[in-house]
Amino acid sequence: MNSRSVGAASAGDSKTYPTLINGEQSDCLPIADRGLQYGDGVFETMLVNSGHIPLLSRHLSRLQLGLQRLQINPLSTDFPEQLQSYAQQWMPTGTGVLKCIVTRGQGARGYAPPADTVPSVIVSGSAFTLPDDFTREHGVRVRLCQQTLAHSKTLAGCKHLNRLEQVLARSEWQDPMVYEGLMQDAFGNVIEGTKSNLFFVRNNVAYTPDLSMCGVAGVMRAELLESIFPALDVRCEIGSYSLQDLQAADECLLCNSLIGVLPVSSIEDSPFSIGSIGTAAVQAARHSLLGQRP
């Protein structure tokens, strides 16, 4: 087992960039904004590499899905250009994170959403360092969380602003050697990590949990399912899986749009090998994020 702490932010990751609210530089949001009052909105967290936003089309598709599910008024047609302009202006070199929050906008007291609200769009940036070679080669330690995920067919897959389940799950450990915590639903199905999606490999087949009732449908998960694994000639299956299914796997992988793909070295006391499929997926995801050919 590795004694090195992996996945921690570097000292340079504290750098931040201006926050834009509806296109204007500001750090103040009206108290009546429904994102603050009720968590009424969605968000995207995107990697920026030298002014470019990898997988931007996937991020925009998920954002649009969330807006439709919550019945929030659509954004302006030049919204993608606004995101790209921010990335090019403030993060022209190196890697960073661009976060976009879209709330329903301001409204009067009460749950009923006003029909004429104008969405609030908040764009901010911060520095970010990609996982290093040691982490990508040797993997990360993972634990199991007690906090479970509730079922909601309407919200499942969306990256909405209500993240209290993940907040409570992440508060369960302070050990810097543990990179991530896995969450289950109330029926014991393994769903995802607090900040990542999960794949496991058994007999050269990649499996990932069904997210039709809970969980976030990550953009890197979609990239693996629709692009990376088909290119590697790896068959994928989506279904309901228990901890026993996970423990019987040959390899386990975590993924999101910032880290790409990371192999799992252990879950609790169960070690996992770093196999050929995981290694290939890790490299392919990194190339995808950096805009390189494998």
**Residue 113 amino acid letter:** P
Q: What does the block give as tokens for 108?
A: 């009067």
Is residue 159 among the annotated active site residues?
yes
Question: Considering 103, 135, 148, 192, which one is annotated as catalytic?
Answer: 192
* Calpha distance 99→86 (Å, rounded): 11
Question: Considering 135, 159, 180, 208, which one is annotated as catalytic?
Answer: 159
The residues near 283 (Cβ < 8 Å, ≥ 6 apart) are 294
Question: From the CB of residue 12, how many other CB atoms can be counted at a distance below 10 Å?
Answer: 10
Contact in structure between 160 and 284 (CB atoms under 8 Å): no
Question: Considering 45, 95, 103, 148, which one is annotated as catalytic?
Answer: 45
195: three-class secondary structure by DSSP: coil
Alpha-carbon distances of 200 from 121, 136, 197, 248, 283, rounded to whole Å: 36, 16, 10, 9, 16
Closest CA to 228 of 279, 153, 274, 284: 284
Is residue 208 among the annotated active site residues?
no
Phi/psi of residue 196, nearest 5 degrees: -150, 160
Is residue 16 among the annotated active site residues?
no
List the catalytic residues.
45, 159, 192
